[in-house]
Structure 1
Amino acid sequence: MNESIKTPSVTDEASTPQMKTKCEHHAECMKVIQAILDDQATEAEKDHFRENIDKCIPCIESYNLEKCIKTSLADKIAKKPCPKNILNTIISKINS
């Protein structure tokens, strides 16, 4: 018999926190995730996120997906200054 395989005991399972497979507050969590990724989260939101992220599979997956999308978009979008003539045209239209 292979002795490296350990069967978890009842006390091991009781001490290991169960991961949630369904998030009861997913809409609220998504708002917090967006605020965190946009660097606009309050300390209370950050604390809630830190506590929740280790226990909730949907929140972990949503955070990773949103972070990946944000990073991909930032890498793909070239930041170019607006040409001066276009800027002047826009400003004149706004002021008229």
Structure 2
Amino acid sequence: MNASLTTPSVEEGAEKQNMKHTCEHHAECMKIIQSILDDEATEAEKDHFRENMDKCIPCIESYRLEKCIKDSLNLKIEKKPCPQSILNTIISKINS
């Protein structure tokens, strides 16, 4: 995850700024959040999200939740290499 995407404290930010409590385009924001967390977002998407999350509480909370879930899963999942026999089977089925 890109370390430059830090989220402000929701409570502090809401008091200091006039923050939105609803997001009119939440589905689009969730797609961008997923792209960012998967390191697949373009710089334009990252810039748009940084700008939006400074004033949108639902986006800040969604980003934090999704990041927490992803980080937790990464800690719990044991990464094992795929056996060569399975790879060969998949490749042969793709090529047939």
Could you say whether these structures have the same fold, taking a TM-score greater than 0.5 normalized by the shorter chain as the test?
Answer: yes
Which structure has more relative contact order (CA 8 Å, sep 6+)? It is 2
User: In structure 1, what is the Cα distance between the partners aligned to 2:22 and 2:30?
Assistant: 14
RMSD (CA atoms): 1.7
Q: Which runs of 4+ in 1 moved over 6 A?
A: none
1:84: Cα distance to partner? 3.7
TM-score normalised by structure 1 residue count: 0.72
Partner of 1:55: 55
CA distance in 2, matches of 1:53, 1:62: 10
- Supply the AA of the counterpart residue of 1:61: E
Is 1:22 aligned to 2:22, yes or no? yes
TM-score by length of 2: 0.72
The size of the alignment, in residue pairs, is 81
Q: Offset of 1:82 from its aligned partner?
A: 2.3
CA distance in 2, matches of 1:27, 1:90: 34
Computing the radius of gyration from Cα coordinates, the structure with the larger value is 1
